[in-house]
Amino acid sequence: MALEPKEVAVVLSGMNEMTPLEENVKTAKNSVSGMLTKTETDVYESVIKIINDSYKIPCTGCNYCMPCPQKVNIPACFAAYNVSYTVGRLSGFQQYMTSTGATDPRKNYAASNCKECGKCEEKCPQRIPVIKSLKNVVKRMEPFWYKTVLQIFIKLRG
């Protein structure tokens, strides 16, 4: 990935006061393509690599893949999966259980409900291989003991 593509003419950022606008104008006036040093470029590339290695599924949460005919909460499944790598497996697992309605038998939006119809893949602007990615989510977030533990939890709670 090129850090300073020549095609980029303008970089926009949120500005809600005059001071940030003036700072951005000053930065733009003083910036030229190719101005980063090799060291600066290396730092940016290492940060990009860390982010790409941590976020296994590049889902932006746009929800274009929704609604799923099987009611799989695809963006939430992907978000929890990514959290399991970036924050930790336990945090990701907690987020997965919460966002998929795992503890409520009337709501089940889990990745394992996918029937591979492919409707989501047709709509994904990121071109994510959704079906394959959901299988990876199931492997990590729904281990062999998952459904048994859920049933016990539901009975104890019930």
78-87 residue pLDDT tens:
999 999 999 9
Read off the pLDDT of residues 106-152 as tens digits, 9 standing for 90 and up: 778 999 999 999 999 999 999 999 999 999 999 999 999 988 888 88
Residue listed under structure tokens 């006061």 = 17
Shared domain check, 33 and 88: no
- Do 2 and 46 belong together in one domain? yes
Is the residue at 59 inside a domain? no
**Torsion angle of the four alpha carbons 101, 105, 111, 112, in this order, in degrees rounded to the nearest 10:** 160
Number of domains the chain contains: 2
Q: Are residues 50 and 97 in the same domain?
A: no
For residues 36 and 105, membership in a common domain is answered with no
Let me know if residue 125 belongs to a domain: yes
- Whether the predicted model's global pTM rises above the 0.85 cut: no
122 and 48 assigned to the same domain: no
Three-class DSSP labels, the chain: CCCCCCCCCCCCCCCCCHHHHHHHHHHHHHCCCCCCCHHHHHHHHHHHHHHHHHCCCCCCCCCCCCCCCCCCCHHHHHHHHHHHHHCCHHHHHHHHHHHCCCCCCCCCCCHHHCCCCCHHHHHCCCCCCHHHHHHHHHHHHCCCCHHHHHHHHHHHHC
| 149 shares its domain with 83 | yes
Q: What is the pLDDT of residues 31-69, one digit of tens each?
A: 777 888 899 889 988 988 888 888 899 999 999 999 999
Residue 63 lies in a domain: no
Same domain as 144, residue 82 = yes
Spatial distance between the Cα atoms of 85 and 92, rounded to a whole number of angstroms: 8
66 domain residue, yes or no: no
61: left (phi over 0), alpha (psi -120 to 50) or beta: left
**Residue 64, in any domain of the structure:** no
Domain span holding position 22: 1-54
The answer on 80 and 50 residing in a single domain is no
In a domain, 119, yes or no: yes
Residue 102, in any domain of the structure? yes
For residue 1, name the pLDDT band (cuts at 50, 70, 90): very low
Residues 50 and 78 in one domain: no
**101 and 34 both lie in a single domain:** no
Contact 120, 68 (CB under 8 A): yes
Regarding whether 107 and 142 lie in a shared domain, the answer is yes
Residue 89 lies in a domain: yes
